[in-house]
Amino acid sequence: MTTTTKPATPVTATRGRRPGAGALALRQGRLEITQFLRSRESVVFTMGFPIIMILIFASIFDGTIGGGVKFTQYFITGMIATGLMTVSFQNLGIWIPIERDRGVLKRYRGTPMPKWVWFAGKVIMVVAIGIAETALLLAVAVALFDLDLPGSAAKWFTFGWVSVLGVTACTLCGIAISSLARTARSGSAVVTPVALVLQFISGVFFVFTDLPTWMQQVAAVFPLKWMCQGLRSVFLPESFGAQEPGGSFELGRVAVVLALWCVIGVVLCLTTFRWTTKRDG
């Protein structure tokens, strides 16, 4: 008497496929975006603050600053740069301490999910919100303040690499500075003053060359000044470059400084980032 045995079902047929690296990153990015949109305070501050500032300053200052350039056009370029800094540096610097204090990061660390996926999710959120915010700013500036959009592919390319390098540097620095906050409540106190000071000395609210020399020198150390300068080369006439401190827009130096800050940001993240609070060990 012979017996027949049922062939074993392959393990691969009974187990679901594990999502790939790209799918994991996209899922985490979608989660980060959803969490951001659910926080009304973050949405209003991040998306609404630059537009409100444009409307206020445009109502106060209505003259030209030389070369036929209106102050509103100059100011809008600075607000695009500071908007990108807000969604990356300031947003991450405030929210990561909150997640750390609530134990969210500790739980992430204890899951099988690769640690890099969490960082990838933050980057995807910053990129998505940054694009939406920039598009909204440009729409308002074109509709209300006659901002001329770049008329050549070269200027759009410059706009792209300045934004990418700037957001990358600010994102990495935002992750790094989040470690300075000991509690969730101290995140805003640590990050907001730094962001405000950089905005005032980097040519966002005032014409950069009108600031004291020592302020210009301090601002030149940080990325926001170079983001503003790079964006001015995109939206302002070529002739305005002569009014910059270096006599031109110095796009080569803009690229070098922003790339250097990307490297510095990576080093700072690797050496300072913490998944848990000090009380957790």
Q: For residue range 192-240, list pLDDT tens digits in order.
A: 899 999 999 998 888 899 999 999 999 999 999 999 999 999 998 888 8
Tell me how far apart the alpha carbons of residues 239 and 66 are, in angstroms, rounded to a whole number: 10
Q: pTM to 2 decimals?
A: 0.87
Residue 21 clears pLDDT 80, i.e. is over it: no
Residue 1 clears pLDDT 60, i.e. is over it: no
Residue 162 clears pLDDT 70, i.e. is over it: yes
**Contact assessment for residue 79 and residue 228, using Cβ atoms and an 8 Å cutoff:** no
Tens-digit pLDDT profile for residues 54-113? 888 777 777 778 777 888 888 889 999 999 999 999 999 988 998 888 888 888 888 888
Residue 9 clears pLDDT 70, i.e. is over it: no
Environment class of 50 (CB within 10 Å of its CB; exposed 0-12, middle 13-18, buried 19+)? buried
Return the structure tokens found at 92: 């991450």
Which DSSP state fits 64? B
Return the structure tokens found at 3: 């017996």
Tell me how far apart the alpha carbons of residues 163 and 259 are, in angstroms, rounded to a whole number: 12
DSSP 204-243: SSS-GGGS-HHHHHHHTTSHHHHHHHHHHHHHS-GGGGGG
Residue 10 clears pLDDT 80, i.e. is over it: no
Tell me how far apart the alpha carbons of residues 141 and 260 are, in angstroms, rounded to a whole number: 31
